[in-house]
């Protein structure tokens, strides 16, 4: 038999693409196997399941916050310390504070979406400035799934608030004691308290997930992705500390 008579070997059939896990499987996966799951999310972004969970919890949490958290007590204490308002002015300001707080609480689902869109846009811009070419759909999908640790924190806070009374707005950062802010008080350490509150276990967990997710979106190494994520977080933390720093200087 000549070489030309030898039957050609048929090429192997292409491997079937792995099925895309549903959103709820991805939510579990991002918590127990984040690297593999976030790589899949970057390749095939979606956002319905995590967004639905976040919105439902925001609605439940907003209702409970509006009914059970005292937002006016810290405001009254601050006004009394300044001592530059009459009782009538103070009561008027407290009514406005209460109204605004309830509007924000009941509007939590809408504000949650706005915050998540801004976070995704900020991270996408930061990575684009470093040469990334990821899409906003990828950035938004990674943001929603990476938000799951903070969603878990939100669930714990909701349960605590629903089961306790006399909680004020100043108590919220330390209800779970997942950060070292419980070691100091806001009144005595107005700058140190929010700084320590920002160093939270759930926040660190979320930053790790952002690092993994955006490394796959951007095709950057995890070390480069971590540097960008941490830089954005540090800048945001510094911005949040401007108000407390001004109050600390005045005090």
* Tally of domains in the chain: 1
200/73: higher pLDDT: 200
202 lies in some domain: yes
34 lies in some domain: no
83 lies in some domain: yes
Please say if the pLDDT value at position 1 is more than 50. Answer: no
- Predicted model pTM: 0.86
Kindly state the average pLDDT of the residues 228-251. Answer: 88
Q: At what angle do helices 136-146 and 108-129 cross, to 10 degrees?
A: 120
End-to-end, the C-alpha distance of the chain in Å comes to 98
Residue recorded with tokens 């204490």: 77
Going by C-alpha positions, the residue among 109, 111, 119, 112 that lies closest to residue 207 is 119
Which segments within the chain are labelled E, that is strand?
Answer: 69-70, 167-168
Going by C-alpha positions, the residue among 25, 237, 234 that lies closest to residue 148 is 25
For residues 130 and 220, the answer to whether their CB atoms sit within 8 Å is yes
Kindly state the average pLDDT of the residues 187-212. Answer: 94
Cα–Cα distance measured from residue 51 to residue 172, given in angstroms and rounded to the nearest whole number: 23
Residue 124 is part of which domain span?
A: 46-250
């Amino acid at each position: 038999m000549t070489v030309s008579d030898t039957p050609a070997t048929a090429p192997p059939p292409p491997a079937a693409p792995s099925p895309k896990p549903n959103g709820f499987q991805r939510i579990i996966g991002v918590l127990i196997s984040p690297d593999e799951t976030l790589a899949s999310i970057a390749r095939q972004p979606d956002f319905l399941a995590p967004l639905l969970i976040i919105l439902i919890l925001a609605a439940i949490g907003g209702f409970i916050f509006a009914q059970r958290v005292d937002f006016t007590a810290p405001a009254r204490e601050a006004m009394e310390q300044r001592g530059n308002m009459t009782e009538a002015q103070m009561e008027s300001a407290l009514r406005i504070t209460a109204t605004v707080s309830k509007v924000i609480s009941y509007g939590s689902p809408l504000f949650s979406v706005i915050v998540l869109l801004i976070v995704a846009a900020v991270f996408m811009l930061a990575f684009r400035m470093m040469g990334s070419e990821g899409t906003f759909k990828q950035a938004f999908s990674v943001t929603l799934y990476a938000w799951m640790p903070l969603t878990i924190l939100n669930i714990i806070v909701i349960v605590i608030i629903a089961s306790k009374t006399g909680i004020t707005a100043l108590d919220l950062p330390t209800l779970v004691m997942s950060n070292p802010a419980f070691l100091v008080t806001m009144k005595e350490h107005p700058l140190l308290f929010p700084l320590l509150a920002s160093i939270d276990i759930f926040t660190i967990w979320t930053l790790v997930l952002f690092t993994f997710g955006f490394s796959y979106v951007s095709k950057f190494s995890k070390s480069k992705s971590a540097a960008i994520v941490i830089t954005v977080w540090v800048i945001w933390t510094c911005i949040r500390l401007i108000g407390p720093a001004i109050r600390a200087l005045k005090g």
